[in-house]
Structure 1
Amino acid sequence: MNRLSSLVVVLALAAIGTGLYLWLRPQPEPPAPVVESPPAIAESAEPPAPPPPEPEIQHPIEPPAAAETTEPPAAPDITVAMTGLLGRDAVLSFFNLDHFIQRTVATVDNLARPHAPPRVWPVNPTQGRFTVDGAAPGERIASANYNRYRPFVAAVTAVSTEKAAALYKQLYPQFQKAYEDLGYPRGYFNDRLVAVIDTLLATPDPAEPVAVNLPEVKGPKELQRPWVSYEFSDPALESLTSGQKILLRMGPDNRRALKAKLADFRRQVTHSMAR
């Protein structure tokens, strides 16, 4: 019995008991009639504010067409799906498939923010160290540094964008749930993805080589790993988002190739991927 039902029963028993008492007791002389003033009408309370409207979805992903069977299709195994898309060697070399969808969603969201913690990346950190040419205060990103990223860029750009978009659509319910679990219960992940892609496509192409510097360290403690602490000397570049600065560190050729791939993928996911 819920609380409301219990309350109703208690009130009913109280009313019955009161009625029996009034009926069985001696009846007193009726009192003189008293003219009562009409009860004051209480002012109506302010109506509750309506809930905020649901945000309008800008780039909906249409669900797959219903099959003849009554059972919904099972989501593909992510390892099998990624291996089929990229090849086994590329998957082993570049990707972390442990909680891959959650990692992807968190990283996409972070790429448009000042920081994207590597511990949640869906890709493995690039091998080698960030290298510079010259001495402080005239350090520049070394052109040889860009070679570290070429194998990853080659693997990604070799993938069929249409097939990658089709897999994304197939897995979209999982991406959406991961986005809601991240703290956006009213958000739509594909809209966030498109907005982040637009941010990455807006990454500037500064003159090469790009000037960098180590941040000033106050105190006797020295940087143990200075190659991960370089900042862009130009304040406008240093104020870019984490994703834009990653593209800058990759160099102009890699950046151009990834921008083209991102633009192609954006076209796929902004037309509901109807094919």
Structure 2
Amino acid sequence: MPDHETPEFRPAPERASSTPRVIAAALACALAAAAAWWYWLRPEHAIVAPPSVATAPEAPVAPPPMPEASGPQNPVDALAPADPALPALAESDQRVTALLAELLGRDKLASFLVTDGFVRRVVATVDNLARAHAPSRMWPVQPMPQRFVVDDQGDAGTTISAANAARYSAFLTFAEAVPLDSAVALYARLYPLFQQAHEELGYPKQYFNDRLVAVLDHLLLAPEPQGPLRVKLTPVNTDVPNLRPWVRYELVDPALESLSSGQKILVRMGPANEARAKALIRELRKRVATSALQLPQR
């Protein structure tokens, strides 16, 4: 058992139908996670209604579970040697924070990332981005208090406002400025901590870097719809006044609404921002996919 395991750091249950930078991965995956908060402003205590039953055919929302393996498919020691004197995972926050501050700068670190339990947060978020839900309380990024905005198109319905795309500019600019080679080297240096956190999630014979590569591939397969996206309010049967209706919007298109949490985040960002995010994901994958597997084809 982990030293301070809580339910939120356990793996989400698999659906019957279901089969970015940790240090560096945190920055790609934090990109997606921050994007979700900026869009939906979903507080930790918000009651999230279950998605409405759609007529779309069931489809996996996550890569198939990683099989048990005798060794990693994407060895991290090919990137850089691990630090031989790492602290225990439960005592690693101070060391990890100092190294992140050295890489990113203290001001940017404080503005964008959450360093308390950073390693566990990154591992849990990477895993969850390919699942139906990626709870915001587990993200390794700071929430941004900006409201999701929609446009009323009359008979055409409600659509995501084009103004929402501007919310991502600061975070995308931050992520694009990160020295990726240095970030990936730091990831490899700290990798034993990420591997331990991955095992604590319930994967004792699997490898976190392999999961990272699989999730990056999954995100790159997100569709790229053009034009305004229609949304609707999720119905909630309650007598309690709803003072924050903007947290209850879901996509009208059942095929889009059935995407994984990470893919929906990319779609909601808008076409230009999704393209920028995918460029970051591809650059990260080039570095961490040490087996030189081909990028997924659309």
Q: TM-score, normalised by structure 2?
A: 0.67
Q: Which amino acid aligns with 1:169?
A: A
Q: 1:62 aligns to what SS in structure 2? A: helix
Q: Which residue of 2 aligns with 1:14?
A: none
Per-residue Cα deviation, 1:40-85 (whole angstroms, up to 9, x for no partner): xxxxxxxxxxxx974552211117459xxxx934469212221222
- The Cα shift of 1:254 comes to 1.8
**Aligned partners of 2:243, 2:81: CA distance in 1, in Å?**
55
- The Cα shift of 1:216 comes to 2.4
User: Would you say 1:99 and 2:123 are equivalent positions?
Assistant: no
Q: Which residue of 1 aligns with 2:84?
A: 72
Q: Which residue of 2 aligns with 1:270?
A: 289
User: Would you say 1:187 and 2:206 are equivalent positions?
Assistant: yes
Q: Which residue of 2 aligns with 1:120?
A: 138
Q: Which residue of 1 aligns with 2:148?
A: 130
C-alpha change, 1:90 and 1:60, in structure 2 (3 Å) is same
- The Cα shift of 1:261 comes to 0.9
**Aligned partners of 2:235, 2:224: CA distance in 1, in Å?**
26
- The Cα shift of 1:89 comes to 2.1
Q: Which amino acid aligns with 1:166?
A: A
Q: Which amino acid aligns with 2:106?
A: R
5+ unaligned residues in a row in structure 1: which ranges?
A: 1-51
**Aligned partners of 1:55, 1:237: CA distance in 2, in Å?**
37
User: Would you say 1:84 and 2:96 are equivalent positions?
Assistant: no
- The Cα shift of 1:220 comes to 4.3
- The Cα shift of 1:222 comes to 4.6
- The Cα shift of 1:201 comes to 0.8
5+ unaligned residues in a row in structure 2: which ranges?
A: 1-66, 293-298
**Aligned partners of 1:74, 1:228: CA distance in 2, in Å?**
40
CA RMSD for the aligned pairs? 2.4
Number of aligned positions between the proteins? 218
Per-residue Cα deviation, 1:106-146 (whole angstroms, up to 9, x for no partner): 00000000000000100012330111111577111111111
**Aligned partners of 1:106, 1:118: CA distance in 2, in Å?**
11
Q: Which amino acid aligns with 2:266?
A: L
Contact 1:62/1:272 (8 A) holds in 2: no
Q: Which runs of 4+ in 1 moved over 6 A?
A: none
**Aligned partners of 2:232, 2:210: CA distance in 1, in Å?**
36
Q: TM-score, normalised by structure 1?
A: 0.73
Q: Which residue of 1 aligns with 2:193?
A: 174
Contact 1:59/1:270 (8 A) holds in 2: yes
> Equivalences for 1:36-55 in 2 at 5 Å?
54=69
